[in-house]
């Protein structure tokens, strides 16, 4: 196996990763410019016998806790509806899913 093939594959991966990161930053910038708030969080503990778990939602930029509790998933959504009645929150994991690295396929000459 040639060093050049490995370098080609790495360059291909780095270019794709750079495109994904640029896309993510652009998406965040556009959402924030439109007045939306990027948040992160969700379940942070195990479910108890009543199907309740600890959870928290944080501002992605500042880390400030915007909401937290110990409830079912539906209970968390009820609290979020109160905290974010205008539905301005956008969850980071959903943005990441929209901008994840695509399958680059094999690089000619390298084993898959």
Residue 109 maps to a domain = no
pLDDT band at 104 (very low <50, low <70, confident <90, very high): confident
Q: How far apart are CA 100 and CA 17, in angstroms?
A: 9
SS3 label, residue 40: strand
Say which residue, 94 or 77, is predicted with more confidence: 77
The confidence score (pLDDT) of residue 1 equals 58
Q: Please state the pTM of the whole predicted model.
A: 0.76
Q: What domain range includes position 73?
A: 3-98
Say which residue, 59 or 104, is predicted with more confidence: 59
In the predicted structure, residue 70 carries a pLDDT above the cut 70 = yes
Residue 38 maps to a domain = yes
Residue 24 maps to a domain = yes
Residue 110 maps to a domain = no
Contact indicator for 79, 55 with CB cutoff of 8 Å: no
Task: Look at strands 53-59 and 37-43 and give their pairing.
Answer: antiparallel
What pLDDT, in 10s, does the model give residues 4-27? 888 988 898 899 889 888 989 999
Total number of domains constituting the chain? 1
Residue 90 maps to a domain = yes
Residue 49 maps to a domain = yes
Say which residue, 36 or 100, is predicted with more confidence: 36
Residue 104 maps to a domain = no
Residue ranges with strand state E in 15-91: 37-43, 53-59, 65-71, 89-91
């Amino acid at each position: 196996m040639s060093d050049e093939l490995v370098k080609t594959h790495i360059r291909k991966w780095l270019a794709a990763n750079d495109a994904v990161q640029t896309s993510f930053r652009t998406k965040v910038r556009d959402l924030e410019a439109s007045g939306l708030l990027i948040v992160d969080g969700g379940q942070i503990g195990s479910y108890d016998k009543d199907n309740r778990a600890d959870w928290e939602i944080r501002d992605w930029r500042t880390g400030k806790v915007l909401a937290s509790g110990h409830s079912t998933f539906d209970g968390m959504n009820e609290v979020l509806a109160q905290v974010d009645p205008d539905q301005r929150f956008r969850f980071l994991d959903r943005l990441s899913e929209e901008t994840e690295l695509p399958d680059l396929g094999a690089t000619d000459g390298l084993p898959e």
